[in-house]
Amino acid sequence: MSEEFNDNKTIQAQSSEVMTGGAAGATPDMDYVRPAEIPEQDLYHAHSFITKWVFCQDAKVIGVQYFLLATFTGIVGLILSWLMRLQLGFPGLAGFMTAEHYYQFVTMHGMIMVVYFLTALFLGGFGNYLIPLMVGARDMVFPYVNMISFWMFFIAVAVLMASFFVPGGPTGAGWTLYPPQTILEGTPGSGMGILLMLISLSLFVIGFTMGGLNYMITVLQARTRGMTLMRMPLTVWGIFTATVLAMLAFPALLVSAIMMTLDKVLGTSFFMPTILKAGEVLEYGGGSPILFQHLFWFFGHPEVYIVALPAFGIVSDLISVHARKNIFGYRMMVWAIVGIGALSFFVWAHHMYVSGMNPWFGFFFATTTLIIAVPTAMKVYNWILTLWRGNIRINTVMLWCLGFIVTFVNGGITGIFLGNVSVDVPLSDTYFVIAHFHMVMGIAPLMVIMGAVYHWFPLVAGRMLDETLGKWHFWITFLGAYSIYFPMHYLGFIGVPRRYFEMYDSPYMTSAVGMNEFISLAAFIVGAAQFILIFNIIKTLKTGKAAGQNPWKANSLEWYTSTVPPEHGNFGDRLPVVHRWPYDFSVPGAKDDFIPQTTPPSEVVHTEVEKT
Amino acid sequence: MTETNNNKEQASTHKIGIYLWIWGLLFVLSFFSYMVDWYQFQGILRWSLILFFMFLKAGLIMAFFMHLFWERYALVNVLLWPMTAIACFIFLMVAEFEYLLFSRLFYFVVGG
Amino acid sequence: MSDPNIQGYELKPGFRGMAKDTGSDQTMFKGVHWGKAMMWIFLLSDTFVFSCFLISYMKGRGSTPEEWPNPSEVFALDAFGVPVPLLLIAIMTFVLITSSGTMAIAVKYGYEKNRKMCGWLVLATAIGGLTFVGMQAFEWSKLIHEGVRPWENPFGAPQFGSFFFMITGFHGTHVSIGVIFLFIYAYKVFAGHYDTGKRGWFTSMKGDYVEIEILGLYWHFVDLVWVFIFAFFYLW
């Protein structure tokens, strides 16, 4: 064996700091962190405008790109929801609105919000920006592929938006795209619309896989010295676990998209049963629509947690920082995230209780569904216990966090209703379901996103967002969201079916008509209130007050970069060395009420700091 | 197969013999699984033989060609545990297709 | 591949080692190049793709009341006037295993920095893969000639053709992508990019022989998938 080969396998120490703890007088062993295992990352430094801001390989810029594009699609989704509410609250007011349009808007709203907005925003946006900074890496491990990932997402969004302009319009089959009606004539957008949707989803999956590999491997293989998995901020844990779920769940979506494309284009019958249409038997026959539902929800249920877990992680960090208290039960929180992630692959068919699958499945899936509520409830208790006797600062970020907890508990409890077969059967396909999932995976994660924007904007832009505007934004959104979704529970109980374009003069309408108008008005106001944030951002970029280093007095590494906002390479000449978890707040005996992760033990010997 | 390579000096590559051995074994196993079809075994015997040879071949490829045998447990476990989700999916889909076949025969062939 | 030598870190075997590695800082997979870890995770994801295909196939085949065609008759090939069951498939299997073997040895020589041997073996692997794709094209055209279509076939359940073309097509796509990369890497090995650490054309990352192992993982995975397809589609 040759010399070079040995070099390759024996990993040399590439220490960026003297090995023994340098502080004079301290015990040399106390601050010891073992030398670096992996060589310094070999970064590609861009020079031209195009490589710096467009085809950029810096994870932070990619994160912002993801964020902006996801926000754009989110605004499209918001406008679609306005149009839907306009129709539901005031039927016939929008003259152009036909039933076909309504179904297309429902479908596109759902798909955009779940996949192209929330998933892309949490994993692509926050994941790209925060993972390398929080684990102390200079960049993602494979920046080139990371860049391609964003541009695949860009193409996916372009294809999706193109479906608005093709003959027949976008698909109107509902965001679950259930066959056989999805690809049959008579469903809006069953021609080009559904094809573009399937292509767009496939592109999204391919692009996301490229990004997801980066997030996972950066967390697993590129942490800085001293950064163990159990010293990572919960934000990273949430995004990491969600990425794992995405890597294992998106394949099912890809497969169902491919199979449905073949059904549509080649006339295969994977999902298509024998169909009589106007007395004529169609070419299709022998397929199983239930198979699609299984594949779709094998993706779809983990997808719920792909959206929820990053929100759980981020909100834990925000609560801890703004209550100046360590997160209660950190390890329990980590294991709850991992446990929820693992269990989420065993609960999918609770979306299919009324589908006509094997009736025995109801028992299995109701049991697993109730089991998954246990770690979720543990997380809620831990957030509340973190707040308990904390030094709570009621600022905008904290308001969003509190709003999240309330909303999430609310949506979670209705989830227990729907997880039981016998309760689900009458409630299924009513507005109760709409209320449930909008509360639990629409509004709740959105509140976390808003809180995270107010929290990390000073890092990204170096300026503090305006607090007064932020509080207006919060209160309108919070009260408005409750005005929208609380009445929907009632609508569900009286049996108003979802996905109906108009109730005409059905018996429901006597009690539901006023409520529908009220919900619609609230929806217009809440939607409009989101533009307060955009106004706030523009205003802050122009005149906001400078944030300086670490305005929230947080501990995690992203606030300890060489410059604010961080530049390419994040940490200047030396990578930070981590000595503790990021939750040492209000430690008795400490000089400040926070101890950064980089503080060596010798500097805090007199404090009652926890051993992590 | 006993080449564990704990010796650090020799840590990096394996003797060519091990690859040739595995290669030969894969040929032999493929030949056997082909013979299952050739002799037209049927029923349980056929299925168990097919699965046996399949898992043996897959295991050999993963363990030796993909070096999983020599990898540390952290990597091996990360790769193998997610397969429980697939196992669950397979198990439930078996129950599902049996039910579907039953209902098709019951409603379409027997006539309800 | 084997236990690395890491300064200041003692490796423990078995599950204790796993716990220690997982709890340690910097890396979880000790001594594993990030690219290799990335390929492994990608393959895990790809395993789920193929699993979903095969599960769909299982469900489709299991629930059809129509008769499923007998693969050993459908895929029989006339050799000297006698129909031999699965002849072509057997040859394809042998070709793919051969190419997997050459790849495994190429990885070994890559680590020993034996440029010539590594290059030739990667090239041999690429040619094996190309042969496989060629034979698959022949198989497809033969079946299409016999009237098998994705939406129908003369032998029985129409889903037979659908699943056959979809699954072998998806596998064939993987093989074809692999062949393209094998040719590129064979060129890069012969040109000495991995000896000199020449930067990649797109990624601008320094070349290293570990890339051969990463490509090898992908190629063995393609072989692995074929083992399952062979068992479930052709033999079952």
Tokens coding A291:
């198979």
Which residues of B, range 46-85, sit inside 8 Å of A by Cβ? 82, 85
Q: How far is C202 from chain A (nearest CA, A)?
A: 8
Residue in A42, A217, A598 to test binding to C, most C beta-carbons within 10 Å: A217
Q: Does residue A354 contact residue A430 with C-beta atoms inside 8 Å?
A: no
Is the domain of B88 the same as that of B46? no
Query: SS3 letters for C78-104?
Result: EECCEEECCHHHHHHHHHHHHHHHHHH
Question: What whole-number distance in Å separates Cα of residue A163 and Cα of residue A193?
Answer: 5
Residues C5 and C117 in one domain: no
- Kindly identify which residue of chain C lies nearest to residue A218, measuring between CA atoms: C34
Q: Provide the number of structural domains found in chain C.
A: 2
**Closest-CA distance of chain C to residue A123, Å:** 17
pLDDT confidence of residue A289: 92
Q: Are both C116 and C62 inside the same structural domain? A: yes
Residue B23 and residue B54 in one domain: yes
* B3 and B52, same domain (yes or no): yes
Q: Are C132 and C229 in contact (CB under 8 A)?
A: no
Inter-chain CB proximity B101 and C65 less than 8 Å: yes
DSSP A183-208: GSTTSTTTTHHHHHHHHHHHHHHHHH
Contacts 24+ apart (CB under 8 A), A30-34: A30/A600, A30/A601, A30/A602, A31/A579, A31/A600, A31/A601, A31/A602, A33/A225, A33/A226, A33/A577, A33/A578, A33/A579, A33/C25, A34/A225, A34/C7, A34/C8, A34/C9, A34/C25
- On whether both C217 and C130 belong to a single domain, the answer is yes
How far is it, in rounded angstroms, from Cα C55 to Cα A350?
20
**A298: nearest CA in chain B?**
B89
- The pLDDT score that the predictor gives to residue C2 is 62
C45 shares contact with chain A (CB less than 8 Å):
yes
Q: What is the DSSP letter of A276?
A: E
Query: Which chains would you list as touching C if contact means 3+ CB atom pairs under 8 Å?
Result: A, B
* B96 min Cα distance to partner chain A (Å): 6
| A382 contacts A333 by C-beta, under 8 angstroms | yes
State the average pLDDT over residues A363-383: 94
pLDDT at C122: 96
Domains and CATH numbers, chain A: 54-275 (1.20.210.10), 348-376+396-547 (1.20.210.10), 550-612 (no CATH)
Question: Helix or strand or coil: residue A588?
Answer: coil
Domains: count for chain B: 2
Domain extent, residue C128, equals: 33-235
Contacts of C213 in chain B (CB under 8 A): 67
Do the Cβ atoms of C3 and B11 come within 8 Å?
Answer: yes
Residue C176 CB neighbours (<10 A): 16
- Look at residue A511 in the predicted model and tell me its pLDDT: 74
Alpha-carbon span A205 to A198, nearest angstrom: 11
Distance between CA A459 and CA A464 in Å, rounded?
9
Nearest alpha-carbon partner for C120 in C179, C189, C223: C189
Contact in structure between A270 and A345 (CB atoms under 8 Å): no
* Residues C43 and C81 placed together within one structural domain of the fold: yes
C-beta of residue C80 within 8 angstroms of C-beta of residue C228: no
Residue B55 inside a domain? The answer is yes
Of A605, A558, A557, A550, nearest to A581 by C-alpha is: A557
CB contact under 8 A, C3 and B6: yes
In the prediction, which pLDDT does A164 show?
Answer: 94
**Residue C165 corresponds to which tokens in the numbers above?**
């073309």
pLDDT higher than threshold 70 for residue A557: yes
Is C72 found in the same domain as C23? no
Are B9 and B37 contained in the same domain?
A: yes
- Which of A162, A177, A243 has the alpha carbon at shortest distance from A210? A243
- Do B99 and A357 make contact, defined as CB atoms within 8 angstroms? yes
The per-residue pLDDT for range B50-94, each reduced to its tens digit, is 999 999 999 999 999 999 998 899 999 999 999 999 999 999 999
What is the mean pLDDT of the segment spanning C51-58? 95
Query: What is the rounded (10 degree) CA torsion for A595, A596, A597, A603?
Result: -60
Q: What is the mean pLDDT of residues A203-229?
A: 95
Nearest-Cα residue of chain A relative to residue C34: A221
Q: Backbone phi, then psi, for A598, in 5-degree steps?
A: -90, -5
Closest listed residue to residue C159, CA positions, set C79, C80, C62: C62
Q: CA of B38 to nearest chain A CA: how many angstroms apart?
A: 31
Do residue A294 and residue B96 have CB atoms under 8 angstroms apart? yes
What does the alpha-carbon distance between residue C41 and residue A391 come to, in Å, rounded to a whole number? 42
Measured CA to CA, the distance from residue B56 to residue A499 in angstroms comes to: 51
Residue-level pLDDT at C48: 96
Nearest residue to B57 (alpha-carbon basis) of C227, C50, C233, C96: C227
pTM of the model: 0.93
Mind telling me how many Å the CA of A268 is from chain C's nearest CA? 4
Q: What is the CB-side half-sphere exposure of residue B105 using CA atoms within 13 A? A: 11
Beta carbons of C27 and A223 less than 8 Å apart:
yes
What is the structure's pLDDT at A508?
Answer: 66
Nearest CB to A247: which of C28, C41, C53?
C41
**By the CB < 8 Å criterion, does A355 face chain B?**
no
Contact B65 C104 (CB under 8 A): yes
Q: Which residues contact B21 (CB under 8 A, 6 or more apart)?
A: B1
What is the pLDDT, as a whole number, of residue A506? 73
Query: What backbone torsions phi and psi does residue B73 show, to the nearest 5 degrees?
Result: -60, -30
Omega prior to A359 cis, within 30 of 0: no
Sign of CA dihedral A360, A369, A353, A413: positive
What is the pLDDT averaged over residues A127-149?
94
How many angstroms separate the CA atoms of A384 and A390, rounded? Answer: 10
What one-character-per-residue DSSP string does chain C give? -----BTT-----HHHHHHHHHHSBS-SSTT--HHHHHHHHHHHHHHHHHHHHHHHHHHHHHH-SSPPP-HHHHT-EEETTEEETTHHHHHHHHHHHHHHHHHHHHHHHHHTT-HHHHHHHHHHHHHHHHHHHHHHHHHHHHHHHTT--SS--TTS-THHHHHHHHHHHHHHHHHHHHHHHHHHHHHHHHTTHHHHTPBPTTT-PBP-THHHHHHHHHHHHHHHHHHHHIIIIII-
C114 plus C195 within the same structural domain: yes
Given a cut of 50, is residue B8 above it in pLDDT?
no
B94 close contact with A: CB closer than 8 A: no
Q: Helix, strand, or coil here: B86?
A: helix
Our CA angle for C79, C85, C91, nearest 5°, is 70
A43: closest chain C residue by CA? C205
In chain B, what is the straight-line distance between the N-terminal and C-terminal CA atoms, in Å?
A: 59
Shared domain for C57 and C125, answered yes or no, is yes
- What is chain C's mean pLDDT, rounded? 90
> CA-CA distance, A21 to A598, in Å (whole number)?
12
Closest CA of chain A from B31, distance in Å? 32
pLDDT of residue A20: 41
**Contact yes or no for B55/B10 (Cβ under 8 A):** no
* Cβ-based contacts of B85 with chain A (< 8 Å): 248, 345-346
pLDDT tens digits for A169-203?
999 999 999 998 999 988 999 989 999 999 999 99
- Subunits adjacent to chain B (3 or more Cβ pairs under 8 Å): A, C
Residue of B nearest to C100 (CA): B65
- Which of these, A258, C42, A368, lies nearest to B88 by C-alpha position? A368
Q: What range does the domain containing B41 cover? A: 1-71
Contact check, Cβ <8 Å, C97/B73: no
Q: Using an 8 Å Cβ cutoff, are A223 and C22 in contact?
A: no
Find residue C84's DSSP bridge partners.
C77
Mark yes or no for CB contact C151/A283 under 8 Å: yes
The answer on C131 and C21 residing in a single domain is: no
pLDDT of residue A129: 95
Residues B1 and B31 in one domain: yes
Mean pLDDT rounded to a whole number for chain A: 90
Q: How confident is the model at residue C12 (pLDDT cuts 50, 70, 90)?
A: confident
pLDDT of res. A606: 78
The minimal CB distance from C26 to the residues A37, A145, A286 is found for: A37
Average pLDDT on A299-327 reads 95
| Contact in structure between A251 and C48 (CB atoms under 8 Å) | yes
The Cα–Cα gap between A44 and A548 comes to 28
Measured CA to CA, the distance from residue A454 to residue A449 in angstroms comes to 9
Question: pLDDT tens, C90-122?
Answer: 899 999 999 999 999 999 999 888 899 999 999
Q: Are residues B66 and B87 in the same domain?
A: no
The pLDDT of residue A7 is above 70: no
**For residue B27, how far is the Cα from the chain centroid?**
15
List of chain B residues whose C-beta atoms are within 8 Å of the C-beta of residue A5: 12
B93 and B40 co-located in one domain? no
Gap from A154 CA to chain C (nearest CA, Å): 20
Radius of gyration for chain B, computed over Cα atoms and rounded to the nearest angstrom: 21
Contact A248, C45 (CB under 8 A): yes
Question: Which residues in chain A (7-66) have CB-CB distances under 8 A to chain B?
Answer: 8-9
Q: If you count residue pairs, one on A and one on C, with CB atoms under 8 Å apart, how many are there?
A: 167
Structure tokens at C106: 């190429």
ipTM of the complex: 0.95
A298 touches chain B (CB under 8 A): yes
DSSP character for A180? T
β-bridge partners, C78? C83
d(Cα A460, Cα A565) in Å, to the nearest integer? 5
Same domain, B33 and B1: yes
- Residue/partner pairs of C164-169 with CB below 8 Å, 24 or more apart: C164/C233, C165/C140, C166/A258, C166/A259, C166/A262, C166/A268, C166/C53, C167/C53, C167/C54, C167/C57, C167/C229, C167/C233, C168/C136, C168/C139, C168/C140, C168/C229, C168/C233
Q: What is the pLDDT of residue B4?
A: 36
Same structural domain, C18 and C79: no
DSSP A527-575: HHHHHHHHHHHHHHHHHPPB--S-TT---SGGGS-SSSS--TTSSTTS-
Same domain for C112 and C211?
yes
Q: Residue B46: inside a domain, yes or no?
A: yes
Are residues B47 and B101 both part of a single domain? no
Residue C147's pLDDT band (boundaries 50, 70, 90)?
A: confident
What pLDDT is recorded for position A28?
56
Task: Give residue-wise pLDDT tens across range C152-176.
Answer: 888 888 889 999 999 999 999 999 9
Asked if residue B15 and residue B57 are part of one domain, the reply reads yes
Six-digit token pair at A419? 């997880």
For residue A296, how many other CB atoms are within 10 A of its CB? 25
CA distance A446 to A122: 10
> Do C210 and C228 fall into the same domain?
yes
The answer to whether the CB atoms of C235 and B36 lie below 8 A apart is yes
Tell me, yes or no, whether B76 lies in a domain. no
- State the CATH number of the domain containing residue C97: 1.20.120.80
- Verify that B25 and B63 share a domain, yes or no: yes
Pair C89, C196 in one domain: yes
Contacts of A225 (CB under 8 A, 6+ apart): A17, A33, A34, A35, A36, A136, A575, A577, A578, C25, C26
B105/C227 Cβ within 8 A: no
Å between A345 CA and nearest CA of chain B: 6
Nearest alpha-carbon partner for A267 in A284, A290, A288: A284
- What angle is formed at CA A591 by the lines to CA A585 and CA A596, rounded to 5 degrees? 45
Residue A168 has pLDDT above 50, yes or no: yes
Task: Return the residue of C nearest to B83 by Cα.
Answer: C48
A254 close to A205: Cβ distance less than 8 angstroms = yes
The CA-based diameter of chain A, rounded to the nearest angstrom, is: 92
- The more confidently predicted of residues C204 and A328 is A328
Residues B63 and B19 placed together within one structural domain of the fold? yes
Tokens of C221: 């995975």
Peptide bond into A180 cis (omega under 30): yes
